[in-house]
Structure 1
Amino acid sequence: MTKNVDGNGRIPKNGADFTEQFPALDLAEVALEGANVGIWIMDSVSGKFFPSQRTKALFGFLPDSDMSFGDAMLKVVEKHRKTATEAIENAFRKQRALYVEFPVAALPDHPQRWLSVTGGFSSPVDRNSYFSGIIMDITEQKQTDLRRSKFIGMVSHELKTPLTALKGYVQLLNNWAKKQKDNFTIGALSKVEKQVKKMLNMINSLLNLSGAEAGKIHLKKETFRLDELIAEVVEETLFITSTHPIAIIPCGSVTIYADKEKLEQVLVNLLSNAAKYSEKASGIEMICAVQDSQVEISIRDQGLGIAAEDIQKLFLPHYRVQSKETEKIAGFGIGLYLCAEIIKRHNGKIWVESEPGKGSTFKFTLPLG
């Protein structure tokens, strides 16, 4: 195991000159600089941080100036700073692969710049290994994503109005058919209602994506019973997706203050994913547990499982696991991103525990009270 300078797993705040410490990388640095990519290296034992000139420039520092890890993190926009710092420090401490995106504060030549940081250890078992990686400017990509999200949000909003009306008419016809005891019409309208609900769920997800990427997810909080919402969502999921048995391990009566509609979307998304990525008839388990001042919800499936390198990026927008098993499964790659954003807005946490071939357990926590 490697040790850090301060002894508690946190990265020291000191920095050093990159080219003096790593002269052999001069040629590689020139090539990467030409591609607008910065390099950074961190000593696995001392924790010293070595940024290249391009890395310094991306954070708004002059080439000859000193830039420590702490200096760089202070440039990250405040609401993203804690998440970015924890992601990097956890990857360093646990010797895991790293991928994180964050915006940096206003710079003279750019109002806001988005950066992506990728890294890993050269050899996890070698004390002389380095924690290193690259940093890229993804501002243009983020702006394109934002424009696309605005367009999707506008179109989705226009689609939602007629679909909501259609849902109302279907329900009226269904009630009429039940009074007439017309079983054929009742069955046909039930199928129509099922498809309308699927489309409305998709549109709500797209609308939430537009809001999330614009930083405008608005919560309408109310006090309600979470255990009752879980039961409703499971019943609704079995109505739409009847191919998987769902078992609930309840936690008794749990009252929370939250946005009921958005938490419903989180539960629906996680349950539908569990069904989508599992063999037909395989079981799904939903567990609710109260722990001190929070409640933890777990959705466990017996599906494909997820590799460690994919878990790092699973909650990023538009990211989907690429494999032979998943290429035929439809999806936008936005569901888990929206789940993460909604849970974060509720001051909760969301994560996944998984191994390929052994299923997945998605978990999230919410504060009580």
Structure 2
Amino acid sequence: MAREESSTHNTHNFLTGEDICSAFIRNTDWSHTSLGAVEDWPKSLKTTLNIVLNAQVPMFLFWGPNLIQFFNTALVPVFGQDPKLQEFLGQPGGDLWMPDDIFVKVLIDEVLSTGTASLTYDKRITIFRNGRSEDVYWSCSYNPVIDDEGSINGVFITCFEVSGKTGYQRYIEERNENRVSAMMKTHLAVFNAEERLRLATEATGIGSWDIDLRQNTIIYTPTLMELFGLDRDTMINLNEISSLVHPEDKAIVDNAFTNALVTGQYRYEARLLWPDESVHWISTNGRIIFDEQDYPSRLLGTTIDITENKIEQLQKNDFIAIASHELKTPLTSIKAYLQMLKMENAVKDPEYVLNIAGRAEKQVIKMTKLIYSFLDMSRIESGNIDLSIAPFMIDELIQEVIKDYLIHTNSHQLLFTPGITEPIEADRSRIGQVIDNLISNAIKYSPLSKSIEISSTTFGEEAVVSVRDHGIGIDTRHQEKVFERFYRADDQKARNASGFGIGLYLSADILKRHHGGIWVESDHGNGSTFHFSLPLTRP
């Protein structure tokens, strides 16, 4: 709230006082607040505020739907020693109340709804006066502020100190306990329950909302705005919310509402387009409230972000479809090769038999790798991967893997530059699996290139192995994600390559269990280099 010197005190008689509260209100620019400029304030506000500011007893004024708080100088001691008025005067009352002050909100709401004044007796409070804090007892009168049209716009509270009744204080406290109405107890219980629910939903990232179907308006928690990719304090209407739904999913949301009018239950999953153009998934659950005439009056519900779960679900669906295809391909080939071997002329041509048998063997090896990948993923999920640690020469292992590829692959040259002359302590079979996967990927994603470069070296206390191809490369935004389970880049060239999207996930897990690491350097269209590191000795 900005403050600036103005001529307000020359034009508004109710602000002519020289007390600190009048001076603060007079020197504050209200035009940027919900109240607007002082000259536009309603007569009922000016009149009541004039009474409050000039009263010799402590008085509050809570005004408007936000319960903007005003008070006079007699009330300043309530806010402690040398209070900063800008933290209290002109601020929404609800933002300032402590848990012990909930009875104030209950009484204000009662006066606003009924228009009937209310009294409280002997409320103990702490004020600062005579250079120290002290407890005093106040009785307070809550009164409605009614304008010329009969509307209730606020509540002003007059407080009287009754601390002189110290001989009766214990009796007074007891009497006040008994005097709390059933309605206030109910309000307090409801408030506490709602507050606990609000805090719980905020903490768990749940956005809650309440739509008035007659007025076509919505109120919501700040978390809902975060789910839509907006600032927590953003004010937005239903049309603006609808505009954030992905165009392809608007029919889903519309159908969910149509069904809700029949069933009363409002449920859907849909995509949102955030202002930064990123796509996010939400799940919404709600219920329609019907009035006495069975007309839909309100729609209440909650919304949560399910982006991560949805992406994983979609990736899993892709994985199942790809797995089915990948397993079907070698099976079909093996079946064809067996049929060819059954032909009459096959028996007469041993070279032909060897050729067909070699091709069938390739498909068996491919299928075996696929099946072992499934088993390894299952073991990772259940935490049952065991390592058999022993010293071995990693350069010899790399050469063995390359030799196996050269038997079955003639599309690429595999060029190896060895550089590790001392043994490492690791699971030889599992590290061989990592090397095999990196070479397989390099061949798969560089169909137009003819060479794969493999190298090994030591760096400090670590062995580092690198596999470089000159293929399609990986876009920067995908480079960290390639090690996630089921991840396959949404690049058409990458999708045309065979594979499940679990090889790098398995490799990363194996290396993690060895206290090593794996990473990639790549430019889209210019190939990739995958590196992995292992400690030379077991930690």
* Shorter-chain TM-score range: 0.5 to 0.7
Deviations 1:171-222 (A, max 9, x none): xxxxxxxxxx943333332222222111111111111111122333221222
Q: Evaluate the alpha carbon distance shift between residue 33 and residue 252 of structure 1 in structure 2; reply closer, same or farther with a 3 A threshold.
A: closer
Q: Evaluate the alpha carbon distance shift between residue 31 and residue 237 of structure 1 in structure 2; reply closer, same or farther with a 3 A threshold.
A: farther
Q: Evaluate the alpha carbon distance shift between residue 28 and residue 206 of structure 1 in structure 2; reply closer, same or farther with a 3 A threshold.
A: farther
Aligned to 1:301: 469
Aligned to 1:212: 380
Q: Is the 8 A contact 1:248 1:287 kept in 2?
A: yes
Query: Which of 284, 301, 326 in structure 1 is aligned with 2:452?
Result: 284
Residue 290 of structure 1, CA deviation: 1.2
1:347 equivalent in alignment to 2:515: yes
CA distance in 1: counterparts of 2:308 and 2:494, whole angstroms: 27
Provide the secondary structure at the position in 1 that maps to 2:490.
coil
Aligned to 1:197: 365
Q: Evaluate the alpha carbon distance shift between residue 31 and residue 192 of structure 1 in structure 2; reply closer, same or farther with a 3 A threshold.
A: farther
Aligned to 2:484: 316
Aligned to 1:360: 528
Provide the secondary structure at the position in 1 that maps to 2:483.
coil
Q: Is the 8 A contact 1:38 1:136 kept in 2?
A: no
1:267 equivalent in alignment to 2:442: no
Q: Evaluate the alpha carbon distance shift between residue 182 and residue 307 of structure 1 in structure 2; reply closer, same or farther with a 3 A threshold.
A: same
Gap regions ≥5 residues in structure 2: 1-201, 203-208, 210-216, 233-273, 278-303, 339-348
Indicate the RMSD between aligned Cα atoms, in angstroms. Answer: 4.4
Query: Which of 424, 434, 444 in structure 2 is aligned with 1:256?
Result: 424
Q: Evaluate the alpha carbon distance shift between residue 312 and residue 38 of structure 1 in structure 2; reply closer, same or farther with a 3 A threshold.
A: farther
Residue 38 of structure 1, CA deviation: 8.9
Query: Which of 350, 356, 360 in structure 2 is aligned with 1:188?
Result: 356
Aligned to 2:411: 243
Q: Evaluate the alpha carbon distance shift between residue 38 and residue 228 of structure 1 in structure 2; reply closer, same or farther with a 3 A threshold.
A: farther
Aligned to 1:86: none
Q: Which has the larger radius of gyration?
A: 2
Query: TM (normalized to structure 2)?
Result: 0.38
Q: Evaluate the alpha carbon distance shift between residue 261 and residue 29 of structure 1 in structure 2; reply closer, same or farther with a 3 A threshold.
A: farther
Deviations 1:25-79 (A, max 9, x none): x9999589459949799xxxxxxxx9xxxxxxxxxxxxxxxxxxxxxxxxxxxxx
Residue 252 of structure 1, CA deviation: 4.5
Residue 251 of structure 1, CA deviation: 1.1
Query: TM (normalized to structure 1)?
Result: 0.54
Q: Is the 8 A contact 2:449 2:471 kept in 1?
A: no
CA distance in 1: counterparts of 2:516 and 2:457, whole angstroms: 14
Aligned to 1:223: 391
Which residue identity lines up with residue 433 of structure 2 in the other structure?
Q
| Range with greater deviation from structure 2 (213-222 or 257-266) | 213-222
Which residue identity lines up with residue 379 of structure 2 in the other structure?
G
Residue 301 of structure 1, CA deviation: 0.3
Q: Is the 8 A contact 2:452 2:470 kept in 1?
A: yes
Q: Is the 8 A contact 2:315 2:487 kept in 1?
A: no
CA distance in 2: counterparts of 1:267 and 1:290, whole angstroms: 16
Q: Evaluate the alpha carbon distance shift between residue 281 and residue 39 of structure 1 in structure 2; reply closer, same or farther with a 3 A threshold.
A: closer
CA distance in 1: counterparts of 2:222 and 2:381, whole angstroms: 29
Q: Evaluate the alpha carbon distance shift between residue 186 and residue 40 of structure 1 in structure 2; reply closer, same or farther with a 3 A threshold.
A: same
Residue 135 of structure 1, CA deviation: 7.0
Q: Evaluate the alpha carbon distance shift between residue 239 and residue 143 of structure 1 in structure 2; reply closer, same or farther with a 3 A threshold.
A: same
Residue 282 of structure 1, CA deviation: 2.0
Deviations 1:91-122 (A, max 9, x none): xxxxxxxxxxxxxxxxxxxxxxxxxxxx9x99
Provide the secondary structure at the position in 1 that maps to 2:492.
coil
Which residue identity lines up with residue 363 of structure 2 in the other structure?
Q
Residue 281 of structure 1, CA deviation: 4.7
Which residue identity lines up with residue 244 of structure 1 in the other structure?
H
Provide the secondary structure at the position in 2 that maps to 1:314.
helix
Q: Which has the higher contact order (CA 8 A, sep 6+)?
A: 1
Identity fraction in percent: 36
Aligned to 2:10: none
Q: Evaluate the alpha carbon distance shift between residue 324 and residue 144 of structure 1 in structure 2; reply closer, same or farther with a 3 A threshold.
A: closer
Q: Is the 8 A contact 2:449 2:470 kept in 1?
A: no
Gap regions ≥5 residues in structure 1: 1-18, 20-25, 42-49, 51-118, 123-133, 150-154, 171-180
| Range with greater deviation from structure 2 (357-366 or 318-327) | 318-327
CA distance in 2: counterparts of 1:141 and 1:325, whole angstroms: 21
Q: Evaluate the alpha carbon distance shift between residue 187 and residue 38 of structure 1 in structure 2; reply closer, same or farther with a 3 A threshold.
A: same
